[in-house]
Amino acid sequence: MMPTDTFNDVMFGIHDMTQIKKSSLVDMIMVQVISLTLGAFLLIAYAAYDMNQEEMMYSMGILFTSLLLTGTVYRRLGEKG
């Protein structure tokens, strides 16, 4: 096997990996945003008594931001059908 064959195989593989359908990409983003929302909610629900004011503020900010991201992505999905 020639070194150029290996290089061409790697380049074709990279090209195939970057040609992701848009719906798959949105699904992957949604999984990350939903897991961030769930994680922030569980953190607040189970550790709120042990948190100081600054930790609670950041946790609430993360929860609020992730909920806004989830709503934005769902709205855009609804517009595109």
Residues 22-63 have pLDDT tens digits of 666 777 888 888 898 999 999 999 998 999 999 999 999 999
Tokens standing for residue 51: 């948190």
Q: Does 52 reside within a domain?
A: yes
pLDDT tens by residue, 1-27: 555 677 777 776 666 666 666 666 777
Residues 54, 63, 66, 37, Cα dihedral to 10°: 130
Residue 51's region, left for phi above 0, alpha for psi from -120 to 50, else beta, is beta
More confident residue, 65 or 22: 65
Q: Does 14 reside within a domain?
A: no
Range of the domain at 65: 21-80
Report CA Rg, the chain: 20
Alpha helix stretches (DSSP H) within 1-81: 3-18, 22-47, 53-80
Structurally, the chain folds into a number of domains equal to: 1
More confident residue, 73 or 13: 73
Q: Does 45 reside within a domain?
A: yes
Does this model's pTM top 0.75? My answer is: no
